[in-house]
Structure 1
Amino acid sequence: MNRFLQGSLLAASVIASTLTVADEVRPPFNQRPAFLLGEVSQHYYDGITDDLLTAGLGASGLASPTPPGFVEPLQPGPQELRRLAIYNNYRALVDTVPGGGYGVFFGPQVGGSGSGLIPGHEYVAYMTVPGSEVSVTVMAQVPDSFDPRRPCMVTAPSSGSRGIYGAIGTAGEWGLKKGCAVVYTDKGTGTGAHNLASNAAQRIDGTLSQADEPVLFRAGLNDPARADFNAAWPDRFAWKHAHSRANPEADWGRHVLQSVEFGFYVLNRRFGRELGNNQTLMTINPRNTLVIASSVSNGGGASVRAAELDERGLIDGVAVSEPNVNPRPDSGFTIRQGDGPVISGHSRSLLDYTTALALYQGCANQAPGIRDIAPLNGVFNPPAVGANICSALASRGLVSGVGTDEQAAAALRILNEDFAIQPEQNLLAPVHFGLSVAQSIAMTYANAYGRTGVDDRLCGLSLAATDALGAVTPLDPVREAALFATSNGIPPTAGVNLVYDAAAGQPTLLAASTSPGTGLPDHGFEALLCLRALAAGQDPQTGEPLQGEAADLAQRIAAGIDAVRASGNLRGKPAVVVTGRADAILPINHTSRPYFGLNRRVEGEASGLYYYEVLNAQHLDVLNGFPGIAERYIPLHHYYFQALDLMYDHLRHGTALPPSQVVRTVPRGSLTTPLAAANLPAIAATPATADLIEFADNQVRIPD
């Protein structure tokens, strides 16, 4: 018996066990979920002028470097904002540059028809989880190719902190082309930008509103409090993920499960059997529908958490890529790659290793062997600023050595050895630091875990537009009007930046700021040191526990981290995880590798989890379009789609899932050489013994 059938029987038994006597003689009816807020909007896209996947742009339009525009830039319409949001969110995760695999191995037109336009219905609404007043966006897309006789559904929670279209090019594309309904949620993140000066915020359709009506997010400040804040800190923004005081990540799994319920609700509105008296028989239900929990990065982590929380048999299988999962620490197992060191200090939290990257990476960028060969390092990371960061670390006793070379080597050694960040990630970490990835994650998640508000200005950091000199300035109205479509949900984004309010002289763009204690332009070192202290719960210099208000805040942050930890219990569901070994955003020794080990510890022989680690693959495929990166890395996206195919075939046809393994890809080596099948060997049904990933004697064993 395959696992889809087992899951269906389980779902049937769970539903049967909860029915009353009256329910046993009366079939279940389709009911609006209680968690929905307000109306459900519905649009039909014909697949000619507009569509579900590409917003009418087609494969060539998504690949075009010219984004779709607005008729009235100061007042774009909802459909214009939707089109630009789909364009930007697709391109943010998928490399569309010629030669990188787009249009050959993946893309709307691959495995589809024509230019990849997919007709169908789209439903959007607000929802909330019990105990929270913060609204979350949920969406279901139902392609015309959906077959109610063989129903399937794919979850697509947004990656990163993106909005409702954040997984359109990943789980969305695969599911829509497969004829499945795709259910999305922004997971309580998304743009959600509140201009504290004007009180403007985004409606669910992306248009701006200053009125007292439902919007994606407004900070919890009454008018007098907002006026006081504006007087002291003008032209600032509050952002939903950082400032909702909700720690949305703690509910990401629930958001995904509710999106599945929403999917069943809208499917039965369309396909359920009408019985009269405004009653509809729920003919599409968990018992007869194949449901795959999916997505990438934060979305992948959300789907993993949903599977762990799924007590009702809503989900049949899991297929995720590079999931942001924070496994519950378990010292009972270790990790070892080849003959390398045994890693016992795995499963650090996202905030732990990210604040370390934010603090040390700016110095490590200048390490010999990294400084001159890391792609785009010289473009994004001025050596003088790196030397200042090294000097600041050395003055606090946080790195040893004389001069920048020795101090930078020490910083790199701390990251690779003390924090178990793989050396394969060293070449990409500098470009991420230059793009403020670790800095933005550290600031956003510290606020979210601590449930702080915009008025707390954690570690002296705020959000605002900045001018050419780094000074705070009002955001250009045209850019603000487009925020819904251009923001990735976590500043710096779309013209809104990280500002160090305590910088010497005046509030300044973090990357350009001078710390008051050093008197040198050092990328706001003291703000990053503050974030690191809160994550660690101790003074980074002395190792002593924090005191007073700082200690209270650190404890709240620690509690917030505990609330997002994954249990490792997938309830026996089949699951596949693909991750790139060179992931420089979510280090594999703290995410996919230890989750695989924890799951084996928790579920033992009953585990259905398989882990595929892809060589020469990293977190952001979009970077593969840049020289210096394109030659070295292959698209992980290709293997994510393979993982979904494997799970679908396993659930639908009973095909065995391949054993856990290392996939040995071959980089292009040259920009003029397009990717070919020889570069991208398939996940093997029977991998060589030397490629097998195993869990034995309480150790995750990874081949070199």
Structure 2
Amino acid sequence: MTDFLVSPVRETRHAGGDDLLTAGLGPAGLRGAAAPFADPDRPSAAELRRRAIQASWKGIADLGPLGGYGTLYGSTDPVPGREYSAFARLPGAQQPHRVLVQVPDDFDARTRCLVVTASSGSRGIYGAIALAGAAGLPRGCAVAYTDKGTGSGYFDIDSRSGVQLDGTRAVAGQAMLEFEPAAAAGGGVAVKHAHSGDQPEADWGRHVLQAARFGLAMLDRARPDLAPFTPANTRVIAIGLSNGGGAVLQAAGLDEDLLDAVVALAPNVAVPGQGRPLYDYVTEAALALPCALLDRRFDAVPFAREADGSAPLAWQARCASLQARGLGSPADALAALQASGWTAAALATAASSTRLDLWRAVAATYASAYLRAAPDAMPCGYRFAAHDAAGQPVAASAAVRAAWWADASGIPPGAGIALLEDAAAGADPAWPGLDCLRALWTGDGADAARLRAAVAATEVRLPRRELPLVVIHGEADGLIPIAFSGLPYVQWLRDHGRAPVWWPIADGQHFDAFLAMPGFGDRYVPLLPYGDAAFERVLDALREGRAVELGPAPATRPRGARALDAAGLGLR
């Protein structure tokens, strides 16, 4: 049942001041400063785990005092138990993916439940803990995670070092590593999502199904008194957010008899013949949004203006770059985006992704993954490297390298790594690289054809008719717009005789963690409470042997300047 494992299973016990859900940090610790390392150059496996869990919570959940986490929804109560982790590999893959199972001491033996999930974004193995861990562990379910072939196990080319199973670093050849690129010439940093050579997105569903099988096997080990755990006697529910949401929907299309239900939030999902794939709208946004957001209608939108009310200079330079393409004014750029399907709500929220330079980072990483590029041969002249205080590339220090596994998001820049561009030049230095990335989608060359074929390989398949499916998506999502992903997927299912539960969240956007920022949380509601509520209702229905029926989408109300209340969530 576990012949896909390529490492021994590592078992650890977590109780007292080091539980499964918060690593002993509790709500105050999760919100606080980064969990410290006694020796920054050589943190222990336990220290790295604690900080990785903290970083995953802070990157996904709204833990601010007005957000309601832990009071209106969610849980950070201590959950003692055991963890089982290993490296697994898909047939034909060059690199492994991480799998990890958490089994709480109060596992519900009467109504056996396994939650399976995949990390959101390109995060590491704990990347879905604030959703799946918080939903499953307090309700007596075991939780199985996969990093789905992405993650923060960066390989440092200068020191020839990578990340071991326990999160600590080792030199290549001296231990099995999470990721070691096949070709790693020169210097800099290799990132698993970009440089694995496996194009992991096409296999995210298989990663999820392997994690589910690993979960059942580890339940056998943890609870031999109840073994064997099988799909016939254990309820297996897949849940995921963003890329994790796309991963569980991919798994739904591949599954034959393993999954009992699937819940997907804000899924990045490529739908055959409908919607738009991520790379298409990300490269479009990277070029046009900086100019479009200069339109006066965005003056009061969070992230769209400087503190003094002025427009970012880089965005003004982008309008000048677009003039050569006939889209020189903000109104022109805005009209072009609206014509391609961007809604007013998505455009307004997309100011955050634009200001934080997410479009460029995502596009460069995904282009490299789709083209299976080596670290020193990324398309359009991009590369990753550690940097100094002035932003110049340097060899990474031991302390910077050591923290990557805990702190990094899986897509640089961040955690001391820069995204560098050989072609950067002029008043709008990002333009040449972004124009090149866009041409890989719209162009006629061999690389463009290869990239489009790789994107097509990520399209989902139809799930079996009887599989309960819940899809939740914020109508104001500015990173994965509902019109390009969640809604086309639901329409496609309905066109093929499926009956998904569909919850469009009127005031929902993509990043719950942004809601703690001034001026942002007063406009939107978080998504995590709807995932938690959907999971609870699905679990209850399965345990009671009845059909999954969640009712209509909740009627939401943003909190304004006040604390979020139950009425604002609209859950009954």
TM range (shorter): over 0.9
Q: 2:18 — aligned with what?
A: 50
Pair 1:477-2:422 in alignment: no
Pair 1:415-2:337 in alignment: yes
Does the 8 Å CA contact 1:59/1:108 hold for their aligned counterparts?
Answer: no
Query: Aligned partners of 2:125 and 2:306: how far apart in 1?
Result: 32
Write the deviation string for residues 508-561 of structure 1: whole angstroms up to 9, x where unpaired: xxxxxxx2xxx32x141010000001022x2xxxxxxx3xxxx11111111111
Q: 2:269 — aligned with what?
A: 325
Q: For structure 1, which segment, 466-475 or 79-88, has the greater mean C-alpha deviation from structure 2 after superposition?
A: 466-475
The structure number with the bigger radius of gyration is: 1
Pair 1:535-2:441 in alignment: yes
Query: Aligned partners of 1:324 and 1:467: how far apart in 2?
Result: 34
Query: Which residues of structure 2 form unaligned runs of 5+?
Result: none
Does the 8 Å CA contact 2:306/2:312 hold for their aligned counterparts?
Answer: no
Q: 1:375 — aligned with what?
A: 302
Give the aligned residue type for 1:350.
L
1:94 pairs with 61, 76, 88, which one? 61
Give the aligned residue type for 2:21.
L
Q: Secondary structure at the match of 2:7?
A: strand
- CA-CA distance at 1:468 after TM superposition: 4.6
**Equivalences for residues 264-279 of structure 1 within 5 A:** 264-272=216-224
Query: Aligned partners of 2:551 and 2:253: how far apart in 1?
Result: 20
For the structure 1 residues 179 and 589, does the alpha-carbon distance in structure 2 shift closer, same or farther, using more than 3 Å as the test?
same
For the structure 1 residues 123 and 206, does the alpha-carbon distance in structure 2 shift closer, same or farther, using more than 3 Å as the test?
same
Q: 1:293 — aligned with what?
A: 238
**Equivalences for residues 288-687 of structure 1 within 5 A:** 288-311=233-256, 313-330=257-274, 347-370=275-298, 372-379=299-306, 383-397=312-326, 399-400=327-328, 407-418=329-340, 420-503=341-424, 515=425, 519-520=426-427, 522-536=428-442, 538=443, 546=444, 551-602=445-496, 604=497, 607-654=498-545, 656-658=547-549, 661-670=552-561, 673-682=562-571
Query: Aligned partners of 1:197 and 1:531: how far apart in 2?
Result: 27
- CA-CA distance at 1:658 after TM superposition: 4.2
- CA-CA distance at 1:649 after TM superposition: 1.9
Q: Secondary structure at the match of 2:34?
A: coil
For the structure 1 residues 395 and 140, does the alpha-carbon distance in structure 2 shift closer, same or farther, using more than 3 Å as the test?
same
- CA-CA distance at 1:579 after TM superposition: 0.9
Query: Which residues of structure 1 form unaligned runs of 5+?
Result: 1-31, 110-115, 274-280, 331-346, 401-406, 504-514, 539-545, 684-704
Q: 1:262 — aligned with what?
A: 214
- CA-CA distance at 1:244 after TM superposition: 0.9
Give the aligned residue type for 1:217.
F
Query: Aligned partners of 1:495 and 1:211: how far apart in 2?
Result: 21
Q: 1:691 — aligned with what?
A: none
- CA-CA distance at 1:379 after TM superposition: 4.2
Write the deviation string for residues 616-647 of structure 1: whole angstroms up to 9, x where unpaired: 11100000001110110111111111111121
Does the 8 Å CA contact 1:272/1:284 hold for their aligned counterparts?
Answer: no
For the structure 1 residues 141 and 200, does the alpha-carbon distance in structure 2 shift closer, same or farther, using more than 3 Å as the test?
same
- CA-CA distance at 1:438 after TM superposition: 1.4
Query: Aligned partners of 2:322 and 2:549: how far apart in 1?
Result: 46
Query: Aligned partners of 1:523 and 1:171: how far apart in 2?
Result: 40
Query: Aligned partners of 1:218 and 1:377: how far apart in 2?
Result: 39
- CA-CA distance at 1:562 after TM superposition: 1.1
Write the deviation string for residues 553-579 of structure 1: whole angstroms up to 9, x where unpaired: 111111111111012334420111111
Does the 8 Å CA contact 2:242/2:265 hold for their aligned counterparts?
Answer: yes
Query: Aligned partners of 1:57 and 1:650: how far apart in 2?
Result: 33
Does the 8 Å CA contact 2:239/2:263 hold for their aligned counterparts?
Answer: yes
Write the deviation string for residues 220-256 of structure 1: whole angstroms up to 9, x where unpaired: 12xxxx4xx42xxx4x111000011111011111111
TM-score by length of 1: 0.78
Query: Aligned partners of 1:571 and 1:654: how far apart in 2?
Result: 17
Give the aligned residue type for 2:236.
V
Give the aligned residue type for 1:365.
L
Query: Aligned partners of 1:324 and 1:305: how far apart in 2?
Result: 10
Give the aligned residue type for 1:441.
V
Q: 1:112 — aligned with what?
A: none
TM-score by length of 2: 0.96
- CA-CA distance at 1:385 after TM superposition: 1.4
For the structure 1 residues 532 and 660, does the alpha-carbon distance in structure 2 shift closer, same or farther, using more than 3 Å as the test?
farther
- CA-CA distance at 1:664 after TM superposition: 2.5
Tell me the percent identity: 39
Does the 8 Å CA contact 1:327/1:568 hold for their aligned counterparts?
Answer: no
Give the aligned residue type for 1:189.
T
Query: Aligned partners of 2:353 and 2:470: how far apart in 1?
Result: 27
Query: Aligned partners of 2:375 and 2:550: how far apart in 1?
Result: 47
Give the aligned residue type for 1:616.
D
Does the 8 Å CA contact 2:534/2:550 hold for their aligned counterparts?
Answer: no
- CA-CA distance at 1:660 after TM superposition: 6.9
For the structure 1 residues 660 and 592, does the alpha-carbon distance in structure 2 shift closer, same or farther, using more than 3 Å as the test?
farther
- CA-CA distance at 1:83 after TM superposition: 0.1
Query: Aligned partners of 1:271 and 1:88: how far apart in 2?
Result: 30
Give the aligned residue type for 2:201.
E
Query: Aligned partners of 2:550 and 2:236: how far apart in 1?
Result: 22
Query: Aligned partners of 2:388 and 2:331: how far apart in 1?
Result: 34
2:30 pairs with 62, 68, 89, which one? 62
- CA-CA distance at 1:662 after TM superposition: 4.3
Query: Aligned partners of 2:46 and 2:179: how far apart in 1?
Result: 21
Query: Aligned partners of 2:107 and 2:550: how far apart in 1?
Result: 31
Query: Aligned partners of 1:563 and 1:139: how far apart in 2?
Result: 26
Q: Secondary structure at the match of 2:179?
A: coil
- CA-CA distance at 1:292 after TM superposition: 0.6
Give the aligned residue type for 1:67.
A
Does the 8 Å CA contact 1:137/1:164 hold for their aligned counterparts?
Answer: yes
Write the deviation string for residues 280-314 of structure 1: whole angstroms up to 9, x where unpaired: x9522111111111121111111111111012x11
- CA-CA distance at 1:657 after TM superposition: 4.0
Pair 1:156-2:101 in alignment: no
Query: Aligned partners of 2:231 and 2:254: how far apart in 1?
Result: 16
Pair 1:205-2:150 in alignment: no
Query: Aligned partners of 1:523 and 1:416: how far apart in 2?
Result: 26
Give the aligned residue type for 1:153.
L
2:39 pairs with 67, 72, 81, which one? 72
Query: Aligned partners of 2:539 and 2:155: how far apart in 1?
Result: 41
For the structure 1 residues 363 and 483, does the alpha-carbon distance in structure 2 shift closer, same or farther, using more than 3 Å as the test?
same
Query: Aligned partners of 1:586 and 1:660: how far apart in 2?
Result: 25
For the structure 1 residues 202 and 634, does the alpha-carbon distance in structure 2 shift closer, same or farther, using more than 3 Å as the test?
same
Query: Aligned partners of 1:88 and 1:600: how far apart in 2?
Result: 38
Give the aligned residue type for 1:574.
P
For the structure 1 residues 384 and 155, does the alpha-carbon distance in structure 2 shift closer, same or farther, using more than 3 Å as the test?
same
For the structure 1 residues 627 and 433, does the alpha-carbon distance in structure 2 shift closer, same or farther, using more than 3 Å as the test?
same
- CA-CA distance at 1:67 after TM superposition: 2.0
For the structure 1 residues 641 and 443, does the alpha-carbon distance in structure 2 shift closer, same or farther, using more than 3 Å as the test?
same
Query: Aligned partners of 1:35 and 1:658: how far apart in 2?
Result: 36
Does the 8 Å CA contact 2:120/2:240 hold for their aligned counterparts?
Answer: yes
Write the deviation string for residues 418-457 of structure 1: whole angstroms up to 9, x where unpaired: 2x12210122212211212111111111111122221212
For the structure 1 residues 329 and 217, does the alpha-carbon distance in structure 2 shift closer, same or farther, using more than 3 Å as the test?
same
Q: Secondary structure at the match of 2:229?
A: coil
**Superposed CA RMSD:** 1.8
